[in-house]
Amino acid sequence: MDIMFKMIRASKEAYLAEFYQELFNQYRSTTLNLRLMWSDTIITMDEEHIKFILATGFQHFWRGRRQKERMELFLGDGIFNRDDEQWKAHRNLARPFFSRDRISDFEIFERYTDATLSIISSLTDAGEPIEVQDLYARFTLDTASEALFGERLDTLHRALPIPGKSTMSAKGSATKDEFGDFVQSFEVAQEIVVRRSGKGYFWPATQLLKDDIEPHADVISKFLEPMISRVLRNKAQMKKAGIVPTVEQSTFLDYLADNTEDPKVIRDQLLNILLAGRDTTSCLLTFVTYFMALHPEVVQKMREEVFKFIGATRAPTIDDIKELRYMINETLRLFPPVPINQREVRNRPVLFPKSDGTFLEESQAPIYAPANTVVIYFQWFTHRNPTLWGPDADVFDPERWLDDRLRTFTENPMIFTPFSAGPRICIGQNYARNEATFFLVRLLQQYDTFTLAPEVQPEGSLPPPEWKRAVGRKGIEKLRPAYALTLFAKVR
C-alpha cells in the first residue's frame, strides 16, 4: 500500500516515471516485482526482457483480460484491445492501407501542411504565441481522416484555442464546440484508462454506480456517427448499383464497411486508428518543435541541409525525407510516443532470460513470472539508459544517428523501440515518420527560429524550480512530459 500511495503522489508531482527509476536504482535491478495489492506486478526497463516480451517470447504474453476490461468501453473491439485471431484479423484488414505506395503519396500531407503553416504564419505575423500541441493534433487528425477514411473533418478551420485563455482538456487546450467536446472526451477517456491501471484489480469497485468512461464514449460516438452513417449509406448504394470496388479503390473506412455493417465495430476500428494517427504523430511533432526551440544550432544545420538537397520551395519526396530522419529518431529516442506499456503473462508461468547488464551486481539467474502476471515495461528508460547508449544518453544530440555512435543501435536495434517491436510493431510507423518528416521540412523552409512562450503556459504546467537541481533531463527540461496512453506536454 505504501508503494501505491507513493506512486499516486509521484504521478502528480515528479518527473515522468521518476518513482520507478528510483526503485530500479534503489534495488540495483532492471526488473522488479512490486507485489501491488497482493498481486504480482513486474516492472522492467531491461532491454533483454523487453525484447523477450515483444519479440523472442511473444507467444508467452498478451494484452490480457484486465487491460481489455479497462479499455473496453473506450476502444472496444479495436486492434489495440484484442489478442490472437481477432487482433490478427484487424491487422490484416488494416495492412493494405499502410503499404509503401499509399504512404508515399504526399499530396494529402502537402495540402494539410500548407493549411497548418498558413495558420502559423497568420499568428506569427500578428505576434501571437501558438499552441502547437493542439495545432499538430488537428493537422494529424485531418490528415489521417482523409488519407484513411476519405473524410474531411477540417478541424484546422475550426476555432483555435487562445494560449493562456482557453479551456484545458486532459492533454492540452480545448475549444467550446462539438470538436472541443470530442477532443476532451477522447483525451479524458485515455486518462481514465491509465488511472485504472494504477488501481489494479480494485478499479471496478470505484465504478459500481456508473462507468466513468461512459459519458465520454457517448460524446466520441456522437462525433463519429455521421462518418459511419455516410459510409454505410454509400455501401448500400454501391451494392444496389452492382459496384464492387477493389482494395486499391477503397479507403480504410470503405473496406471496414465492406466487412461489417455493425456501426459499433466500425466505430471501434475508427477510434483505434484515430488514436494512433492523431496522438503519436502530434506527440512527435510537438517534441521536435520543443527541441528546435532549445537547440537553435540543430535548426541551423537542418535548414542548411534542407536548402542544399531540397531547396527553398520544393516539396520533399520519399527519397528526400530518408536523409532527414536523424532529427526524428533522436526525438523519438528521448520522447517515445508510448513511453510505458504493459502485457500480461498468459495462463502458464514463464522464465525471463538474463538481464542486459545495466547493474553489474544484478543476478543473472532467469526471472520467474507466474501465470497471469501483469508486466509493465518502460521504453522511456531503455531509450535513456547510459549502459546502452553511452554517458551522453540524456543529451539531445541528433548527430549520434550519423557518427560512430550509430553502431550502438545497429548492433542492437532493440534498444530503440519507439513504435514497439515484434509481431505487434506499429503498422503505421512509416506513415507517422513520413508525415512528421514532410511537415518538418516544410516548416524549416519557412522558419529559422523557434522560441518557447512560458509566459502563456497555464499555472502548474511548467517544471517547478527545484527540478533545476536535478541531474539528467529533469534538470534541464522546460516543460513537464506526461502520459495518458500516449505522451504529451503537460499544460495543466
What single DSSP character describes residue 364?
A: -
For the CA atoms of 473, 479, 480, 481, the dihedral, rounded to the nearest 10 degrees, stands at -70
According to DSSP, residue 158 is labeled: S
Reduced to 3 states (helix: H, G, I; strand: E, B; else coil), residue 110 is helix
426 carries a ligand binding annotation: yes
The three cell numbers locating residue 38: 497482493
The three three-digit cell numbers of residue 371, written as one number:
501465470
Bridge partner list, 44 = 31, 377
**Phi-psi category of 127—alpha, beta or left, where left has phi over 0 and alpha has psi -120 to 50?**
left
The tally of CA atoms less than 13 A away on the side-chain side of residue 277 is 24
One-letter amino acid for residue 104 of the chain:
S
Q: How many CA atoms lie within 13 A of 133 on its CB side?
A: 25
Strands 41-44 and 374-378: parallel
Task: Please check whether residue 484 is in contact with residue 170, taking contact to mean a CB–CB distance below 8 angstroms.
Answer: yes
Nearest to 95 by CA among 312, 245, 247: 247
What span, in angstroms and rounded, lies between the C-alpha atoms of 358 and 377? Answer: 15
Tell me the binding residues.
426
Tell me the binding residues for heme.
426
